[in-house]
Amino acid sequence: MIKCYPFNLLFVNIALICLDVVLAFIAFFQLCRIHLRNQRVGWTRQKVLHLMIGSSNCGYFIYFLCMVVATCKRWLCWSNVCGFVLMALPKILFLAAFLLLLSFWADLCHQANDEEDGDEENSSRKPLLETSKTKVGLSNIDIRRKCCSFQGIRVGSRQKFVIVVIVLNVLLIIAFAAIIRIEQKNPSNSLVFARVYIDFLATLVLLMGVAFGCYGFLLFSKLRRVRSEKASSEMRKVVGLAVVSVLCFTSSSLIALFTDVLLFHHWNPEKINGVKAPILLILHHVLGLSVPFAFGLWFMRELPAPSTSNRQVQPRAITFISYGSAGRHHHQYYPTATSSEKQVSRTSPN
């Protein structure tokens, strides 16, 4: 294996594979804990985010593993369609996860100004894929239907925008993959098309980082008006994730725009010398993906309140991510935050 693949790149691939496996395991393990603790709530944004983070890391695990195997086995399609698709799909899941989180921040920032329907107004505090409240005395079959069914999905306008962006990106991947497949006899042309898509993706990530910075500042300014320990904790989460997003997304986007690190599947590893390429690959993957994922999992480590059969779920009022459905008294916490002790008591968990 080492004879057909440079040792320095092999070491980098193994290190990144191990990192992706660890993050995927943490995401899926936390997803199982959340689901077992609160099965009646259905699919919340917290669960969907963990699923996307775990799936994205699994995708990168497959990509880096196939990179070594394809080079040693001399797969003909790897430098064209196969490598491009396996590189792009995990990035789409990464975008979907953080765009979903950004849409939740946008909901919180614009709650006071939105003139939408009542159901739309409270969408940020409801389960993402749930359309009805949990009833008392549900049988095990009903619970399984409720937790596993994806019928009647209702999402807010900003979440619909996220879905549209992700679908368009998937269509772009299919289109560029088809063009690269057609132009595979001319490697220079296929490389140009892959470069165009990578530049587009890097620009999208850069804009997403700017959006996180803007909405993070808006949420921070709103939370400053609430005097409570909970608000202080949420402020730290918002500021932490906003700063990490701006720094990591900006640095990884600049690396992708001004280097060919994302065209790694087009390179011939046997002709790569020095440490520049491995270092760029590590910086782009760790700063652009692993660090934001790790921060997201750390901030979402708190479990929601357990659901019971004799009362409705009363989740915590969390700025970073919602855990489930909440009453209207929690809804007033963010857009109309004041220093009134009475309002703070209404937003604090039981």
Kindly list the domain boundaries of the chain, sorted by start residue: 7-116+156-300
User: Of the given ranges (176-180, 203-207, 249-253, 320-324), which has the lowest mean pLDDT?
Assistant: 320-324
Question: b/e string for 26-58 if b means 16 or more Cβ within 10 A?
Answer: bbbebbeebbeebbbbbbbbbbbbbbbbbbbbb
Answer for the pair 261, 277: CB distance below 8 angstroms, yes or no: yes
* Residue 278 binned pLDDT confidence (cut-offs 50, 70, 90): confident
% the chain with pLDDT above 70: 69
Quickly tell me which residue has 């919602």 as its tokens: 322
Q: State the pLDDT at residue 268.
A: 57
**CATH class of residue range 7-116+156-300:** mainly alpha
Handedness of CA 341, 343, 349, 350 (dihedral sign): positive
Is the whole-model pTM more than 0.85? no
The CA distance from 24 to 93, in Å, is 13
Note the Cα 244 to chain centre separation in Å: 14
Q: State the pLDDT at residue 221.
A: 85
- Tell which residue, 212, 209, 187, 188, has the closest CA to residue 257: 209
The CA distance from 264 to 60, in Å, is 13
The CA distance from 107 to 218, in Å, is 12
**With 80 as the cut, is the pLDDT of residue 288 above it?**
yes
What residues are paired with 311 via a beta bridge? 308
Note the Cα 213 to chain centre separation in Å: 16
The CA distance from 20 to 15, in Å, is 9
**With 60 as the cut, is the pLDDT of residue 90 above it?**
yes
Q: State the pLDDT at residue 302.
A: 73
Quickly tell me which residue has 């660090």 as its tokens: 291
- Tell which residue, 49, 64, 127, has the closest CA to residue 94: 49
What string of DSSP letters covers 134-166?
PPTT--HHHHHHHHH--TT----HHHHHHHHHH
For helices 83-109 and 187-223, give the axis angle rounded to 10 degrees. 20
Answer for the pair 304, 37: CB distance below 8 angstroms, yes or no: yes
How many residues are there in the chain? 350
First to last CA, the chain: 58
- Provide the H-helix boundaries in 224-311: 229-258, 276-285, 291-299
